Amino acid sequence: MKSGVFFLLAVFLFFSSPVSAIEISGADDPDFKSAVRAWLQDDDAASLPALAKLAHEGNTAARYLLSQIERTTHFASETDYLKSQDRKQRLALFRVPGGLSSTAWLNILKENDEELATVLISLKTLRYEKEQLLALLKLGEQRLAFKELIRHLQNGGYDILIGLYQENQLGIGERSYAWYSYVLDKAVTEEQRTKVFKAFNEDLEQSGIDSAIMTNWAYRYLTPKTDDLDKIRRYGSALFQPTRIYGRNKWSAAEAAKFHSWLASKAPTTENLTLPYIYCRQQCPKTVGQCMTGVMAMAGGYEGLRTYQTPLVNLISNDDYLVSPRAKASLSRRMQWQVTQIDFNKRYGISACLAEELSKN
């Protein structure tokens, strides 16, 4: 039996049992919970020093959270408090003294035989073993694992994606990666591919977000071509690069309006669009779809939005993160930075409402 078959069997056996969160020492500490609440309220001045204090006192949960905040916070989304810290101060907040750049808490956790820390460190490499991704799933970190699926697709890791799809373990936003794997994997039989594309075509009738993404990627492999198929392909293209609507092949006003309406109607059931949907419902309720197009353009497209998720599911649920002031403020800071680089409304006319909102800050 080939190793790939053994691996798929491991995937199937693993997903036959429900995955639950693991217990991380210190997560129930009242001071830790208070620091988490402050962080979700976007208060770095209160939360980060408190977490650093707890980490130095031996709180494992604080060590994990500080490590992930340092790794997942991008400069454009940082708070003014964090930007005001010099290098020495930042290292004191996020790491333990030792070495030229201090020592990351994940390394300390690994030395203490923390399995999750070992897996997280392994994922920092360009290529990693599939078993490490399975370990991340086993440890309850589905959001981080799903984010890594893109790398697997890029590196030819079709078997894990196909296995997860067959076990119905992929989120709506991840199914398209598995569908594309069926197109590219030479080991897939024509019978298997036909069966999967039947499911794809059924989903396409609902014009889901993942169907649009799949169509954009696999359009050249799909036959017969139809006007509806071409429309969804263009929608998928716009999800990844929203500015294409206003670029060289400029869409008509009617086409753009249809896309914006479609986007707003599909967003509530698309986890990856939860944050821009919440933001635009609050800030631009009359032009939600158009506002979302602008948000995606300034956040790096559909895939860029994946960076706006909880640092660690075991400590902060993704649902709690997405509705927090932290999530909205991080996204706003990213867009504010983009405005300093290019006037998106002037260049593309994406959303007058969004431009007005950003000008208030």
Residue range 271-300: average pLDDT?
Answer: 93
- Measured CA to CA, the distance from residue 207 to residue 204 in angstroms comes to 5
Residue range 123-140: average pLDDT?
Answer: 77
Question: pLDDT at position 42, please?
Answer: 97
Closest CA to 243 of 258, 257, 256: 256
Weakest-pLDDT range from 27-31, 53-57, 85-89, 215-219: 215-219
pTM over 0.75: yes
Secondary structure of residue 60 in the 3-state scheme: helix
* Identity of the highest mean pLDDT range in 117-131, 300-314, 316-330: 316-330
Cβ atoms within 10 Å of 298's Cβ, excluding its own: 27
Secondary structure of residue 299 in the 3-state scheme: helix
Query: Residue 1 pLDDT > 70, yes or no?
Result: no
- Measured CA to CA, the distance from residue 106 to residue 186 in angstroms comes to 39
Amino acid at 90: R
Query: Residue 146 pLDDT > 70, yes or no?
Result: yes
pLDDT tens digits for range 56-96? 999 999 999 999 999 888 778 899 999 999 999 999 999 99
End-to-end CA distance of the chain: 61
Residue range 253-268: average pLDDT?
Answer: 93
pLDDT tens digits for range 315-330? 999 999 999 999 999 9
Q: Give the confidence band of 15 by pLDDT, cuts at 50, 70, 90.
A: very low
Which of residues 311 and 127 earns the better pLDDT score?
Answer: 311
Q: Which residues contact 350 (CB under 8 A, 6 or more apart)?
A: 242, 243, 246, 290, 293, 294, 297, 344
